[in-house]
Chain A
Amino acid sequence: MSLIEGETGKWEVVIGLEVHAQVISKAKLFSGASTAFGAAPNTQVSLVDAAMPGMLPVLNRECVAQAVRTGLGLKAKINLTSVFERKNYFYPDLPQGYQISQFQQPIVGEGVLTIDLPDGSTKDIGIERLHLEQDAGKSLHDQDPRHTFVDLNRAGVALMEIVSKPDIRSAEEAGAYIRKLRSILRYLGTCDGNMEEGSLRCDVNLSVRRPGEPLGTRTETKNVNSIRFVQQAIEYEARRQIEVLESGGTVEQETRLFDSRKGESRPLRSKEEAHDYRYFPDPDLLPLVLEQSFVDELAAALPELPDEKKRRFMDSYGLSAYDAGVLVAEQANADFYEAVLAGGKRDPKLAANWVTVNYFGALNASGLDLDDAPVDAKKLGGLLDLIADGTLSSRLAKEVFEAMWESGKDAATIVEEKGLKQITDEGAIEALVDKVIADNPAQVEQYAGGENPKVLGWFVGQVMKASQGKANPGAVNQILRRKLGG
């Protein structure tokens, strides 16, 4: 448990996250309008989205399937009967004057998400619920000095609101939670997890307490739209609440708005000013009743998820939890790794090392994605083969890899062109060894004094240098010992 040291002692931070994840679907939750990102304002608005008189919502089945898939991915209870309700409030970007959401009976109930912490340990964070709801449109306040403009392209797009239990205890855990959730959503193909485009948004519920005491009063910080901002918002709000309490004040239950430029939040509305949303079942929609067979079919078609994949990478390939965790975080990375393994004919640990260290390092340095990288899985596999059969030393392999990244050529071609092939021919190495021994009688004398390993190392270095690094170091070592040791 991570505690924060205040002026008067330790405090525990209790955090619950509400994540709004935009569902991947062609059409909106209750209309046929497109959901594509980046279209010109108000070009993806149906009569239903604009709440024209007499228009009625019709539920998009694909969005329901996506919510169920996500629920299954969170090992959660799928509620075969759920109810859409209206959340009533007035705002210009909410054309109906209510948001269709789920309140008392959400489509997904309790589940669990296992987060991976930097020390390699894991922690289970409870999932309270997941429900489907409509997104609102976008109010543009900066287009005109006197007016607010409204873009309804986003109005009616399906969101999954995923609510965690208050099981998170630090900004670090919150970051791990969002990263893991995003990873699962991407594996499932139910949300692209793109926080910059707003397809994943987060509200932070936070309270502090003395360890072992009952929960304190919580605040909700809204509109925190990157993992870094979530962590900033948590640090800020935890400090603020502790300061309030330590100076004898009380924390007000309120909604706060995060300002990412200042890294601070400010009160938006107090409990007294809270909206009365007047939820009630939407009479335009019948209760959503799912067949168990529908859920079973979706469950059967679910992909392998990060936790299972990590477990398999550790069990089948002997990888460390850390390496496996790094590889499975993004499905594309895990797929790349397994493509490099080519059905297990290559050494999994060697491959993991090359993929996570050299390959991802090169990707990061060049700012490229897997898709447009100059070296693909097959080429990297070819390089590993040359290491495995002794053609390349690991030092040479790094050189070859750099050349591959530069040119896009495969490893064998580069070895050929540059003549980088490792010298394994005993006769050739012997000749080099003989020359080095002959040129350095003083060192031979030193070695003979007691098989000094330092001196042996010096000789290996000289021979390697003479071979321009191409001699097989093992063979050099062996021959040197024989010739020197007598």
Chain B
Amino acid sequence: MTSPTRMTLAEARDALAARKISAKELVEAHIAAVEAARPLNAFTFETPEKALEMAEASDARLAKGEAGPLEGIPLGIKDLFCTRDVPSTAASRILENFRPRYESTVTANLWRDGAVLLGKLNMDEFAMGSSNMTSAYGGVENPWRAKGSDKKLVAGGSSGGSAAAVAARCVLGATGTDTGGSIRQPASFTGIVGMKPTYGRCSRWGVIAFASSLDQAGPMARSVRDCAILLRSMAGHDPLDSTSIEQPVPDFEKALTGDIRGLKVGIPKEYRVEGMSEELERLWRQGSNWLQAAGAEIVEISLPHTSYALPTYYIIASAEASSNLARYDGVRYGLRVEGATLEEMYDATRGAGFGHEVKRRILIGTYVLSAGYYDAYYNKARKVRTLIARDFRQAFEKVDVILTPTTPTAAFPMGEKMDDPIAMYLNDVFTVPASLAGQPAISLPAGLSAEGLPLGLQLIGRAFDEETVLRAAGVLEEAAQFSAEPAFIAAA
């Protein structure tokens, strides 16, 4: 049998069902892997005791034949999800030691289906970042290294801890959240699969808010199938989230038929951005060829407002964030730094509690919503957002799925781009449009750069048609045969 940490989630699930391994054995192996991977700084809080308790309960249910779809599967949870009695901090000082007395809907769904919590995963503070360098806990190290280099690389962000933990074989899967690319970009940087479902597919209740109209939880794992399995458990209508949509949750795994004959795949010409590297263009063309070889029809399409997506995104996301983060005021929970007056207490608390990037976004957001600037920025951005959504709507009249690269580059060294927010924001240029339009999108590893680092391709689908996205991704995955491994693997 494969080593427990080397299995995919689907393999582990089958091994558990066949009683080839106990949940306790599986979880113990992963607890050891989490410990071994500490240098990566992927976890903000480990929960080995809780994991063992949950594993024992899983074994009992497995013995009774009452196993859930994720019974005994050890997972990591991004620290943006509130988990009952377990620190949930959004990787921010302002929520230092915050232990909620409630469980987010998405994680509650996972525990309902038998999954096991290994710990909370590092991330960019309040999910604001593309490198995981803005975390109050420090950056997450990418388990990959460039060929012949010892330079530490970023794991991407904001779900960098999730991506690194999955890639280093610490967990069988992880939750991420994606606001403008926060699942897909780190997935691409670490050679794993990450999916942002349709906005409204997963409940946001209990997920610490960054930008409410964009935030969406999604799965991160080592295969398309694993993501399909996780998404089925995570998704579902939640009356506690008014933006969660009442839609049946299909058995996503069943969508992986491998048959995409007749599927129309769009290649948006606007994604061929200036300065795109030769190798990335080649990979993109390769992806399109693979799909064509499997019977898909390739169609050149136009998404004319693509170039406006990035500024639009940074205005809307920052505006919402400036308001969403107002509740961290030192009054009721989290950090409080005393001051002589109320104003001084606010200033001191928020000054000490928030990091630079969070402050930058609060300032941008406050500015774009201010009287006199509202129409020029926020309102204009909202209008452009509807145009971007219309681009996709029109494109999906012609095609079933859209293929693009996930990121303009492979993972970059830790500490780079830190003094150049614009260069940092450019990481999201391919992922942001689908976020603004609410479309489901997946990133999967499709090849290696010349430096030997993973590069991802992105598939974008129609709203609530994750099945087609997953089916096409399954075919790409099969064709790409991505088998390269990172330099660091937690346990052999």
Contacts and interface: CB of A to CB of B under 8 A. Distances in A.
Interface of A: 47, 50-59, 86, 88, 90, 92, 95-98, 148, 150, 276, 278-280, 282-286
A137 B228 CA distance: 44
Q: Is the interface of B mostly helix, strand, loop or mixed?
A: loop
B212 A284 contact: yes
Given A47-B102, A95-B327, A98-B323, A283 B242 contact: no
A92 B342 contact: yes
Given A88-B326, A276-B370, A278-B370, A54 B209 contact: yes
Contacts of B207: 54
A55 B209 CA distance: 8
B242 A98 contact: no
Nearest to A48: B240
Contact of B204 (A56, A59, A150, A276): A56
21 contacts: A47-B102, A50-B332, A53-B82, A53-B88, A54-B100, A54-B207, A55-B205, A56-B204, A56-B241, A58-B240, A88-B322, A90-B326, A90-B346, A92-B331, A95-B331, A96-B326, A97-B326, A278-B323, A278-B366, A284-B212, A286-B242
B371 A276 contact: yes
B410 interface: no
A52 B241 contact: no
Contacts of B211: 283
Interface string B359-390: 00000001001110010001000000000000
A43 to B, nearest CB: 15
A366 B139 CA distance: 76
Interface in B101-127: 102, 104
Nearest to B331: A92
Contact-size category for B: 35 or more
A285 B326 contact: no
Contacts of B88: 53
B323 A59 contact: no
A284 B208 contact: no
Interface string B216-243: 0000000000000000000000011111
Which of A51, A148, A150 lies at the interface centre, i.e. has the most chain B CB atoms within 10 A of its CB? A51
Contact of B323 (A55, A92, A148, A280): A280
Given A280-B319, A280-B378, A51 B242 contact: no
A58 B238 CA distance: 11
A278 B369 contact: yes
Interface string B28-70: 0000000000000000000000000000000000000000000
A88 B102 contact: no
B333 to A, nearest CB: 7
Contact of B329 (A86, A97, A279, A284): A97
Contacts of B205: 54-56
Which of A56, A58, A59, A96 lies at the interface centre, i.e. has the most chain B CB atoms within 10 A of its CB? A56
A95 B332 CA distance: 8
B370 to A, nearest CB: 6
Which of B102, B208, B242 lies at the interface centre, i.e. has the most chain A CB atoms within 10 A of its CB? B242
Contacts of B82: 53-54
A421 to B, nearest CB: 69
B242 A284 contact: yes
A58 B240 CA distance: 6
B267 interface: no
A59 B346 contact: no
Given A47-B102, A286-B243, A53 B327 contact: yes
A272 to B, nearest CB: 12
Interface string B383-416: 0000000000000000000000000000000000
Contacts of B240: 56, 58
B271 interface: no
A96 to B, nearest CB: 5
A104 to B, nearest CB: 11
B267 to A, nearest CB: 32
A86 B209 CA distance: 15
B77 interface: no
B95 interface: yes
Contact of A88 (B243, B331, B369): B369
Contacts of B374: 278, 280
A53 B332 contact: no
A283 B320 contact: yes
Given A90-B326, A95-B332, A283-B320, A54 B206 contact: yes
A97 B243 CA distance: 21
B90 interface: yes
Which of A96, A150, A280, A284 lies at the interface centre, i.e. has the most chain B CB atoms within 10 A of its CB? A280
